Structure 1
Amino acid sequence: MSTVAANAPGVAGSGLADVAASEASLRRFLHGLPGVDQVGLEARAATLGTRSIKTAAKAYAIDLAISMIDLTTLEGADTVGKVRALCTKGRTPDPTDPTTPRVAAICVYPDMVATAKAALRGTDIQVASVATAFPAGRAALPVKLADTADAVAAGADEIDMVIDRGAFLSGRYLDVFNEIVAVKEACKRPDGSYAHLKVIFETGELQTYDNVRRVSWLAMLAGADFIKTSTGKVAVNATPPVTLLMLEAVRDFRAQTGVQVGVKPAGGIKTTKDAMKYLVMVNETLGDDWLTPHWFRFGASSLLNDLLMQRQKLTTGRYSGPDYVTVD
């Protein structure tokens, strides 16, 4: 039941290998985590959001943020042409400036993975695919596993799964744990390697900060490579306090197990100013180890345009405006 977690480097020797041996033991562990100080958490997030970044550091931060973006289209009206155009933008975000970094990944539905993979051939841009009946996650487990396996077979480098929020909020923690373990196994390729698994919590539906802390640990114990705030499809998506709480969770998890896990805030991050606040949080909470696209991502679409406009302003001294960047 807990094979993935137990086999993760460092977990077996950390005293956590048997945490998911039963519903009772998993509940005992998750409810034994320290309660979240809501006032302290929100105050800390607000304080970090006031830090100013000077011009030289801002130029570096903008390029870093661009390189961390999962450029995303997840609409029912997505077409092959739209996905190819998005891949072109990911490869060359600013055609007038070849020094502009490429994005980290293109995120699409499973049926568009092959299209994105072909359009990105010859680059190191990853193809991420949502799966497991995204965004609601309301499907039987065999359907979710088939959804995942189809995306991996089509060439997905990363899978963004959604947890069963109903099961979690009902206290069926072991069901959620086992589903993550099963999806992780469905990420396995014929050569024995795995597509990276990002586990989406939909934090806007989890009601309390304590639940966010618990689900973060649950997902990491089950083998998540990344923990992700949101689908971007509900009213409340990524927020600074929730993201800070998840950053603290991955910090504490590595301290206890030796296993490093990435973090991806998604939804509602639209401006360069927003992105800077999140990068400051990562730097202050986790340090340089997480300040790379391998360990931190932005789930965004409109954010890239604002970063490009701010980059052009720093480079040329003029503010170009939205007409000078491509419309997604």
Structure 2
Amino acid sequence: MDLDKPPAQPPCPEGCLAVAIRVPVRIVVLVLVVPVRLVWDALTVAGRFVARTVLRPLGRALRWLGRALFVWPLVALWRWVVVPAGKALGWLGNVLVVVPASWLYRYALTPLGHGLARGARVTGAALRWLYARVLAPVGRGIAWLLKGAGLLLAAAGTGVCAVVARLGRYLLVVPARWLYAWVLAPVGRALAWLVTAVVTGTGAVLYWTARVLLVLPALALWRRVLVPVGRVLAVVARETGAALGHAWRIAGRISRAVGRVLGTLVRWILVEPVRWVYRTVLTPVGHALRDHVLRPAAGAARVVGRTVRQALATARDTVRQARADLRRTLLGGPRPPAAVDRREPGGRAARTLGRSTTALTKD
């Protein structure tokens, strides 16, 4: 077994036309494609930004608005109007249509149908008896009479037909056969041969005329003009397509590099200064404002609020006490509660905390 790697096949040599077309076409296409790729990448970035910041929130808002305007009203209409109305209509249909129809079928149509079926059975039995006892014998007799008449007519017709057939044979068939064999057939063969010869000659003349005037010039045009031009156009189209792909990839790399440069410039010109200002200026100022202004103001506001709540509670208690005093002055004090008999023994018979006996066990 040969373990050596077989030599690689040499690439197919390219024609000088492809080599001559490739470099200028790639240069021209690269010059034309780079601006298009830059514009395309810029539009792509802008489209993604617009979709992320505008279209998605707008779509969510439109979806919520559509639900609020269409879905939820339709669901409520279906749940609270259509379904109860359908149940009510179903109950009315059952009461007004199904129950009367079932009653009519059970107590009117079913007995009527049974009666009609019994009458139909009686009528069928009568008709079968009439057919078997009356119509069948009469029909058999008529058939026997017609059969005898048919036999007589068949015998007479057979003789007449034999005479007519013999006369037709010798008066029509034999002369017509002789006329076809000795007159019409030779004349038809001669006419067919003549027509075939004329058509064949005319077809040959037309064939060679069309070949000389149309086919040979068209074939020469195809071989000498269209095929070479098509090959050149195919080479140009192939090289143009390859150049477009190559230029598009190179333009993508150029666009990526330009984007990185622009991103770096934007970062160092805008983002980093803004971040430095935020970290070194705004953050300390915000912390100082929070520690020295906002928190003391919030503490003071809490103390003021607590004082106001206490003052309001005191005023509320004072108003309530004044209202109670005014009611007591005008209407009198509340009545003392009535004594309730709890059925407990009084005096020495009751149990006390210092003794261990009760009213039941002291004796």
TM-score bracket for this pair, using the shorter chain length: under 0.3
Which has more radius of gyration? Answer: 2
Of structures 1 and 2, the one with the larger relative CO (CA 8 A, separation 6+) is: 2
When the two structures are superposed, what TM-score results if normalisation uses the length of structure 2? 0.11
The structure with the greater share of residues assigned to strand is 1
